[in-house]
Structure 1
Amino acid sequence: MKRRDFLAGTATGVALGAGALALSACGEDKKEEKKAAPAVLKKKRELKMVTTWPKNFPGLGTGAARAAQRITDMSDGELTVKLFSAGELVPALESFDAVSNGTADMYHGAEYYWQGKHKAFNFFTAVPFGLTAGEMDAWIHHGGGQALWDELASGFNVKPFACGNTGVQMGGWFNKEINSVEDLKGLKIRMPGLGGEVLRKLGAAAITLPGGEIFPSLQSGAIDATEWVGPWNDLAFGFYKVTKFYYYPGFHEPGSTLSCGVNLDVWKSLTPSQQAIVENATMAENNYMMAEFNARNGDSLEVLLKEHGVQLRKFSDEIMQQIGEASGEVMREVAAADEMTGKVFKSFADFRKKAMGWSDLSEKSYWESRGLSYKYD
């Protein structure tokens, strides 16, 4: 072998050897790196959500399902929320107790269903002649409502959130025309919350029933009338099959906030990022549901009137005036019941006064102007 060939071969061998050593060292470094920084395994957790709504019921039941799915998706499966509709794990109106005592982790419902626990819960769904949906959001998020809600619910081991809204509700379905307040006397009417207290003051018998029990109760004559939500949900329940008189406006629920309550011990056990996910998921559903009801109610009302012969009636100003007076009496009585309810009512009433001033100047005057007779479409 020539000398220069030998040297070239030697150089190549050295280069290859060095490369092999480098690769080997690199491999060792990677092994050490793997040992030094093991992959972080996310701890997955399943949460049980119970609801007061029938399975897959439009708007309410589907809204609860969306909220559960939002939390699951936003956490990338770190939190999996399993939904149980009314009666699947616990009866509808026992959802609050199930979360309070830890049988379930979360509920989706309406706070006025819990007025038997404390009258102040009514204010976080809706009260007669109270706040509209937008005004409720403003009070809860910017008027001190959430802090009061937290204080109230914490006494029952619950952390609450707004998680949906149905907007202004209809006055209800009646088996006869209502031409005066006298026509309400003696009627058995399904109406929960403080609206029911107002009806009792006017001589009616107000009854609280979960959604799934309303139609059979109307059909059997156990009740003479009912309010539920609005055209979209009322059409789905088929109330038009039993009664044809459909009244508006609804005095009792001008902006019904739905809620998601989390067991307080479960809430405290969540990481800050998981808490943020729950908070933002419920807020997203709160907005989405309100938009959905606004989109569906108009079309559903048209179906009720044109396809099912429903007779739309408006409560007279005289009736609404008397209902308003009775509502004021009920609100003052409730506020005087205990210190906590009085504190919530003061905050609510003070905010209502300010909200009415702005709403009259802005939205009400706009609606009146929009209704003038000019060509647009």
Structure 2
Amino acid sequence: MIPFVDLKAQYNSIKNEIDTAVFQALDSTQFVLGSEVVALEAEFSHYCGADYGIAVNTGTSALHLALLAAGINPGDEVITTPFTFVATVAAICYTGATPVFVDIDPISYTIDVRQIEAAITARTKAILPVHLYGQPADMGPILDIARRYGLIVIEDAAQAHRAEYKGQRVGSIGDLGCFSFYPGKNLGAYGEGGMVVTNNPEYAHKIEMLRDWGQKRKYHHVLKGYNYRMDGLQGAILRVKLRHLDQWTQARRAIAAEYDQLLAKADVITPKVMPYSHHVYHIYAVRSKSRDTLQQQLHEQEIQTGIHYPIPVHLQPAYADLGYQLGDFPHSEAASREVLSLPMFAELSTESQTQVAMAVISST
């Protein structure tokens, strides 16, 4: 079996470092927040090119608190894309605001910047672009629109650790950037985790309080907050893994380049890297008109695949109350029917990759 992702292979490659860090964290008994989390915040924010980092328990919590820090309230509108993991939209709804969808660009799979301005109303307060699959959204036009209309830009960088837009690391480009450390991410915890990065000290201070019951100091609750704190163990683990992220990213990009060559003769569309983008390939998604058949044939050859994502958010039953219908966002809907994610992880062997590619070619 060729796995879609192999977390055991990654762990084995850094086992001694991880085990040492975990035992030290256990010995410190700083199990919630603590010195390892503080150090991770400084190291990861610096890595992103941002002044502040605030660690939280999930990427969803990062989005939620970023929206709250930016002043998003019930009745406000936040523009985003329906072709994303549901957490992007859920976080907007947690604030009481309304998600307003804009279709994706069919080449990059990120928000179509040409359609954003038409979606702006008097209630629009923010734009929330998603750096999907590890490719940055086209941030230049987004920032230009935001400046002209006085809007906040919050980057969903959950899949884009170390990705760059025109040489600048994502997360530090908008007003706030949100990351997930879910285990399968390019930088993944051994459990859940997330981070908000920003250059705005007021946003950072507010998020620090909101993640810890709204406390300015212990038992002094300034805000109605949440229990969104990061575990000390995850801070220690992520600090180790951050030191390897550059190497892992280079490996992913090399694997993607090899896939591009191997699949040149296959009847699939391979990912397109936009000219402004340093893609980090959290997902390597091909497109096929016969996606479901292709996936089944790969499964029969013991090759695991994924679909990111089979139903766009505007067609999910949970979000039917937003009032969107089939056909409202044709590019998102087409992508949801056609994308198939192939095995992608830094330790993927050349032999396994070639086997995947030959199976795709023979099945299309």
TM-score category (smaller protein): under 0.3
- State the TM-score, normalized to the length of structure 1: 0.26
Q: Which structure has the bigger radius of gyration? A: 1
